[in-house]
Amino acid sequence: MTPAELEAARDRLVPDVVAAGLRVLFCGINPGLMTAAIGHHFARPGNRFWPVLHASGFTPRLLKPSEQHELLTYGLGITNVVARASARADELTDEEYREGGRLLQEKVTRLRPRWLAVAGVTAYRVAFGDKRAAIGPQERTIGTTRIWALPNPSGLNAHWTLATMAEEFARLRATAYADGED
């Protein structure tokens, strides 16, 4: 993909992969330019979302971004805190995060997933005004939906390896499936 093609994707929207009553609705920060250009979530090759999802047991095989709609068959979905695409998350303003958090609450209220899993604790902190939030389950709920802050799967997040990230995603999976329902 050329730099011009990537730049042309700036501010594009990537449709959510959602349905009512999901077990886990994963929430990215915002689409990157490659994701927006391709039209599939977490599409940049260095992003670890798809490998981590598989390594943590959420999916029985490694899905490609183009297979994102298969997530619905596993009771999973994807959305973003901020809908517009940018080259980097640091291009977003706090106001965009807060408005994204407000819109996300409306979406979660409407769709009622069991868990909202925000992949990026810093984005969660700003979007929901919770400066003390840490990775893991949050005290806040949206209606009956529980919230879990996950590490950002971007390749730029060097603090988390694929293995340690998969461990955290697996903690969420174990909790989300602890009730025994499918």
Residues labelled catalytic: 30, 41
Residue in the block written with tokens 């009622």: 112
Are 130 and 138 in contact by the 8 Å Cβ rule? The answer is: yes
Task: Give me the helix-helix angle, 121-128 and 94-111, nearest 10°.
Answer: 90
Cβ count within 10 A of residue 157: 15
Name beta bridge partners: 118. Answer: 27, 149
Cβ count within 10 A of residue 38: 18
Could you tell me the strand order of the sheet in which 136-142 lies? 76-80, 24-28, 115-119, 145-150, 136-142
